Structure 1
């Protein structure tokens, strides 16, 4: 059994005839774990691919805010939810745009489009601090520009209808909002880790799973659950961009929730996947 992973020796994998679908490749370590990214990588700054990736994150977040905030505005201005796409349509807009944009940019920047996702991947040593900070800045700038274009199209309506800004809704406490953001971001970032995991890709290589699909679907489901609570942030850049362009005091009152919550959720997802599920730190010591 030498050279095999400990989890392969246990459970259903102990008996080949009982292996469930999608676990046949677990018998040997037929995947390559990418090495941890360095904390600082100054050479990145001299690479065009580094700057191109940042531009891709900017453009993706710009388009994300443009489409999703316009969708929110369309629902808000309708006389009734039945006369518009409603909450389900908003959730589909967010989830569908993430699916499309991750698909478009994954090969360039990894398709983060969210500082919380970038933070979680940084904690897992999937990218350097240099790249992580650059991505976050570009994502926030893209979000600001995307919301700004929406306001430019319909300034009066934008001011009247809330500008798509995230706030804790009436009937919920700030603790409720923080908890919703933590759990919602955990679902998203855990899905990102699972959908892009090297071991899963090798194990399920015969099952064609497109990584952006479960990520977008996770965003869709989280929005269905938490739109009534916070309007669903789970993306600090999205919350910041809408708040800056809307720029009303109540949009800033709860802003800390839409940064602290997603970052805590992303950190918990990184710890859960890397340490508990994959036990990568313990394997590297062996």
Structure 2
């Protein structure tokens, strides 16, 4: 069965630009480029990926687009643009010349304002995305989910995907109010969710597959296999697990599905959502 990795990153490591990669993440304090990932994909039968921004600059977006032009297995790019800029429509018109650019993301999880998504300038930027047909990846933590609910309610036709299950507190084994909020989000048919970024929310050194069961099953039951997609979060995942371990978590979770349902999670949902 074809498999697409709907969430991974590339970077040329710089200690200032990439200050978020702290010393306890030393294993990823280096360059990670397509040649590195292609070896991993060949080993695990992954046919392609969506490269997602890790830095908040248009330079980052162009960097990923150059890589996508050079490496055909990079099927799509989720970039960054200043969605609060008054000239955002002009910038989106500029980027529309790049067919592999599928959508945008802002690192909202790092914003101090828990209602950042509801700022008028940001909402105007999301409206502009819709006019160009771009997707939007929602990267938040659980304390920001109330704002997410209000946010998505205002854009019934915008394609949204929740990154990393909204980063539930797996290490602390906390379920609520995350579980209730995610179930409400799942009621919006234009919202999908990525099974990604889980191992870094657990105890990096002592996690067990059972630690993720509740969170994975809740997402699968809430969104259904029709609106869930696999993502590795490589290379960030390497601080807690290798690629095989990350893949196994999803394999075990969807193994009870029909083959048609498994195909949705492994490649069809990502292909349809991002128009790969």
- Calculate the TM-score normalised by the size of structure 1: 0.24
More helix by share: 1
- Structure with greater Cα Rg: 1
Comparing both structures, which one devotes a greater share of its residues to strand? 2
- Tell me the TM-score normalised to structure 2 length: 0.25
